[in-house]
Structure 1
Amino acid sequence: MAAATSSRTQGVTGTQGAEAAGGVVDAAVAPPASKLSPELFPGAASVSGVAAGLSREARIAALAELRQRVLQCVKCPHLAATRKNVVFGVGSPEAELVFVGEAPGVDEDEQGEPFVGAAGQLLTKIIQAMGFTREQVYIANILKCRPDTPGQTSGNRKPTPTEMATCFPWLREQLLLIRPKVIVALGATAVEGLLGKSTVGITRLRGQWQQWEGIPVMPTYHPAYLLRNQSLVEKRKVWEDMLQVLERLGRPITERQRNYFTRAGTERT
């Protein structure tokens, strides 16, 4: 990928990584949220090893402890002041597939759950067409708070690079705890937040496997794009990306699934 090399994808060693790894499994030694480094969990290899050894119960407990820290986060004062709810993430702590979006919208801010609006309903249909339920996968965003829109009563805005860099450590910790087999990055902003800014647009990047901390990442269009563009061709592009994901996961694919969003197939959304 022709992307800028980011500290998000580069592991470092030393005491900082060791302290972060301890924070995953032991809430008692976790640093308070106000003291968390922007490079929280830089030691990817050691942290992933710890996460891989956790029982389901320990993983659930670690995610619950992380959620409590995120709920108290005020690192972006302007977002903390305007949010109604922190949108932490939802799904299975042992999910083999994680979907990452950019930020909560109005509906997500109201309900405290990612992807519950119109785009979220479409994402749910995509997940179901793949043979999963929402409860079997994990869904999160680069940002845990809805980006504020000063002077606007509705609508959303793209997160700033500073907001994404500030909030990313929370998602990093989630992903290293869950350690999925595949991550799907929904849209250009999610790709930038996860992998770093790319010189290649999402149109060329989608469908091309990337990596984050050794985990395969599939960039694809955001469901909101498909709501704006109802073309069968664009829907098929996203579905082809999901077929690649299913193949990477070793999941069975029916002939009917292979033909979704083709003229001979059955539309699912």
Structure 2
Amino acid sequence: LAMLRLREAHKAPPLNRHGYGDRDVLERIDIDTLRAAWRARQDELARLRRFHRQRLYPSLQVVRDLLATRADGDLLADEALQHALADLRRIDDQLLQSAERIVHAHESASKPWTANDLVRRLTDRAHEVLRSARAVAITGGHVAVLLNRLQFFGVDQILRELHERGTPILAWSAGSMVLTERIVLYYDDPPDGAGHPELLDRGFGLSKGVVMLPHASKRLRLDDKRRVGLLATRFAPAVCIGLENGAWLCRDGDRFTNGGAPGTAVRLFPDGNVERLPQEES
């Protein structure tokens, strides 16, 4: 695996072929300037999310109210609901577009190693180790930190290259989330009241048309059909998949199965139903 090869690389002679040790190269980065640039970028993204929530929460409430009060066959209410859902999705799309603009405007902080030839050679060496891997494993953890670090060091591009040539990429929990097109944060019962699912950012897009929801039974009210239905409808046509410890998600086109312990992978539907994924046939 790539991690083992990276460890071996650290046993190499202290000087690289350019006559500089790795520590010497890294010390050429102005850490204080980089920290300030990164902080400015993150502060602007945080400010964007505050504005996003100011628009998102009222829109979510409108959709919930319409779902709670509309009667079967009420065409006018159905039309209003579709318009409200379109507003909700537009707010989500605008968040992602604005976040991309901010990241692009702070490119020197997003990928600082591109501005220094010696540092770029060092990161290129790490990239080559990853490219030589026969398989890559991505663990869980804090999904925002994981996403930022992988992007910061350009690992997202390497993963795309590996995926295109068929190298196995194994991922779980937060690791599975960063491989999707959109990363959704969710917690229905936070300490400060009912939570609202929110978009974090675009993922790497290696697993298309799916929203990963690890530890779904602990973080979502899966018995609340209205909340489940809204979550699945909001991010449609992507399929919302809930995963528990022991799940092994298998996919063949649009068909999802579970190769792990029975009942550890479920699908959330727009009608509010939650169904176990069928077991993968051995």
Q: Establish whether TM, by shorter chain, passes 0.5.
A: no
Structure whose CA Rg is larger: 2
What is the TM-score of this pair, normalised by structure 1? 0.31
Please state which structure has a larger fraction of its residues in strand. 2
Higher relative contact order (CA 8 A, sep 6+): 1
What is the TM-score of this pair, normalised by structure 2? 0.30
